[in-house]
C-alpha cells in the first residue's frame, strides 16, 4: 500500500464510485507492470 500511495498518490481524484474503482484498477495495473519490469530474472546455473 505504501508503494501505491507513493507512486499514485494518497487520494482518488474521481468523484463517482465507479470511476474511483477504475482509477484504482489502473493504478494497480501500472504499479504491477513497474514491479515486473524492475524484478530481476533468475536462471539456474549447473556447476559440474
pLDDT at 4: 66
d(CA 46, CA 24): 43
Kindly state the cell numbers that stand for 41.
Answer: 530474472
Ordered by start, the domain boundaries in the chain are 2-38
pLDDT at 1: 62
Per-residue pLDDT of the chain (48 residues; tens, 9 = 90+): 676 677 677 787 889 999 989 998 998 898 888 888 888 787 888 887
First to last CA, the chain: 44
pLDDT at 42: 79
d(CA 43, CA 4): 29
- Give Cα separations from 18 to 21, 28, 42, 46 (angstroms): 5, 16, 39, 51
pLDDT at 7: 67
Amino acid at each position: 500500500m505504501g508503494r501505491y500511495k507513493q507512486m499514485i498518490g494518497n487520494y482518488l481524484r474521481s468523484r463517482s464510485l465507479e470511476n474511483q474503482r477504475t482509477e484504482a484498477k489502473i493504478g494497480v495495473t501500472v504499479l504491477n507492470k513497474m514491479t515486473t519490469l524492475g524484478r530481476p530474472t533468475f536462471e539456474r546455473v549447473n556447476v559440474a
